Amino acid sequence: MTPDTIRTVFMGTPDFALATFEGLIEAGCNLVGVYTQPDRPKGRGNKLAAPPVKELAVKHGLPVFQPPKLRAPEVVEQLRGLRPELIVVVAYGQILPQAVLEIPRYGCINVHASLLPKYRGAAPINQAIIDGETETGVTTMLMDAGLDTGDMLVKCRIAIDANETAGQLHDRLAMLGREAMAETLKRLCAGKLVAEKQDDSLSCYAPMLKKEDGLIDWRQSATRVHNLVRGLDPWPGAYTRLGTEVLKIAATRVDPQLSGPPGTVLRAAADGVRIACGDGALVIGELQLPGKKRLPAGDFLRGRELPTGTRVGG
């Protein structure tokens, strides 16, 4: 069996899905359909914009389907009419109903950005960084009715750098997802794909992020605040309050030698604004006020002074 003999449907929507999608195309997979989310309004003009996966599918002349609800009976019937033997899912954005899961003979294989069973859920990349993990990866799995609970197929691991942001890790994991799916497809074609049950006792959950998750508690250690900042970069962003304004911060590092009352500016200089935490201090390299651009510390301080002793936070 080879990739070109397997009738395959790909389901995905954002940039994260592109690397795996490109890998399937380059492997010569028999892609009989691409499912992605409907076009959405975007930008100041609120013009409809196609998802990245749709753009790539159109470029390669692949049939695109954008049902608002995958579980609608007529949508399931349409999918069944494509006679897929395999469905590959990467950040599609809709839950696959049981009726869809039962269609392909080789199952629905999901590319998930964590080392399952850890970090099931919507934001595994962010949560791994927020929790201070030093390693993560990608797991391919056979989808079932649960949330990321299906049997595991292939795992690929990478280290997380101490100052790496969620955005940076996202890009590396997208490429790793391509590798993991390529290995999964190789084993499937060779008849050597082995599924492994997840140990539910080792699982943890990574819920969808909200803007309010970014509010900093300066009583926490500098390391924990630093992990929060990089775990929420680029979205939704970590923030504190400067007077009545919301101050977003980014590009942080930890200085364990400094100390002071939590939430107090210890020193503001071009190389960073140092704010005391419950243990150590956070050195902030980039800051942003409402309606303004995110600026390096030196540029920010030219327009807004932060004298030593200034208090931030609630």
pLDDT tens readout for residues 63-77: 999 999 999 999 999
What mean pLDDT comes out for the span 19-47?
A: 94
pLDDT tens readout for residues 244-292: 999 999 999 999 999 999 999 999 999 999 999 999 999 999 999 999 9
CATH topology for 211-303? Methionyl-tRNA Fmet Formyltransferase; Chain A, domain 2 (3.10.25)
Between helix 52-59 and helix 18-26 the angle, nearest 10°, is 20
Select from 67, 121, 125, 117 the least CA-distant residue to 97: 67
Query: What's the pLDDT at 44?
Result: 77
Judged against a pLDDT cut of 80, whether residue 314 lies above it is answered with no
pLDDT tens readout for residues 177-228: 999 999 999 999 999 999 999 999 999 999 999 999 999 999 999 999 999 9
Domain boundaries, the chain: 3-206, 211-303
The DSSP secondary-structure symbol of 15 reads G
CA separation for the pair 18, 52 (Å, rounded)? 7
- Please give the sequence-ordered ranges of beta strands (E in DSSP) within 43-194, or none if there are none: 47-49, 64-65, 86-90, 108-112, 120-121, 135-142, 152-159
Burial class (CB in 10 A: 0-12, 13-18, 19+), 100: buried
β-partners of residue 196 are 152
On whether the CB atoms of residues 276 and 260 are closer than 8 A, the answer is: yes
3-206 and 211-303 in the same fold: no
pLDDT band at 45 (very low <50, low <70, confident <90, very high): confident
Q: What is the pTM of this model?
A: 0.95
Q: Please give the C-alpha separations between residue 236 and each of 40, 72, 232, 258, 264, in angstroms, as whole numbers.
A: 19, 32, 6, 28, 24
H/E stretch holding 286 reads strand 281-288
Q: The domain 3-206 is classified under which CATH number: 3.40.50.150, 3.40.50.170, 3.40.190.10, 3.20.20.70?
A: 3.40.50.170
Query: What's the pLDDT at 113?
Result: 98
